[in-house]
Amino acid sequence: LQEGFAVDDVLRPNRIVVGVKSEWANGMLYAAHKGVFDLAATEDREVPLVVTDFATAELVKVAANAFLATKISFINAMAEVCEASGGDVTQLARAIGYDPRIGNRFLQAGLGFGGACLPKDIRAFQARAQELGAGEALRFLHEVDLINLRRRTRVLQLAADLLGRRSGPAGPDLSGTRIAVLGATFKPNTDDVRDAPALAVAALLHKAGADVHVFDPQGVENARRAVPELQYEATINDAVTDTDLVCVLTEWADFRNADPVALGELVAGRRVVDGRNCLDAALWTQAGWEYRGLGRP
């Protein structure tokens, strides 16, 4: 069940997986889902049904989430290589996404994944595999996790670069700067801030000494409870007013479609870090902004 789409996912699942030990259980589960199959028939769709054993059924969810996390971290690893080589990860992702064996979903390089499922699931999967004596098989998931977490510190580095601040052993000193963080939730169209990369980056910027002002269309109250030391604003304009840097860290439509010319009239310095590669870089640059995206030249 995708957060924000749970009802539709129940009514129109892309597959149903059942773990059973008897024909009676199989029949009961099929009957319980009959409405889903009937709806699919009226809409000329098919819902694949996988009937399997308990162990395989349990593995399906964590294996799927581990694969998705790996795909996200793969493109973010490519972003790191692009940053070193001068390549553009958005064009790279587009090119490899045309390969039907790869596909373009979950190839959006940026700040990485968060939320209540992927981070928890890949860590729990590793721990359980270790208990089962198969820990070596999932060792790569540790690197998947590390790549994901490195994207957060990369935003901190880009912020320091744009603001002309050097980084020492303890990281950059951003004291005396005012930074707007647009986004607090782990993804748009939810108020969920659990393990949200955007909020984690906002906390890192605050720890580095910056005066951080956060706006999110739905997540402000949850974010305030989770990280009360930040300043929270009621509108995007309030957040960016008199700031030296704007960081777009959740890809809300409000931020993607924001007018860079109008926002440029409010800020103290036209500098933007696009942590989700969701902005039109050319449009923002034409409006006089110094633009930095993750994995982009």
Catalytic residue set:
117
Cβ atoms of 54 and 19 within 8 Å: the answer is yes
* Nearest Cα to Cα of residue 181 among 250, 277, 114: 250
Where b means 16+ CB within 10 Å and e means fewer, 228-261 reads eebbbbeebeebbbebbbbbbbbbbebbeebebe
CA distances to 189, 245, 269 from 223, in Å: 15, 20, 26
Cβ atoms of 147 and 73 within 8 Å: the answer is yes
How many Å apart are CA 291 and CA 273, to the nearest integer?
6
Phi, psi of 44 (to 5 degrees): 55, 45
Helix-helix angle 140-163:197-207, to 10 degrees: 50
Our measurement of the distance from residue 106's CA atom to the centroid of its chain's CA atoms, rounded to an integer in Å, reads 10
How many Å apart are CA 133 and CA 141, to the nearest integer?
16
Cβ atoms of 174 and 159 within 8 Å: the answer is yes
Our measurement of the distance from residue 163's CA atom to the centroid of its chain's CA atoms, rounded to an integer in Å, reads 25
Residues in the chain: 297
Structure tokens at 240: 């960016």
Cβ atoms of 73 and 260 within 8 Å: the answer is no
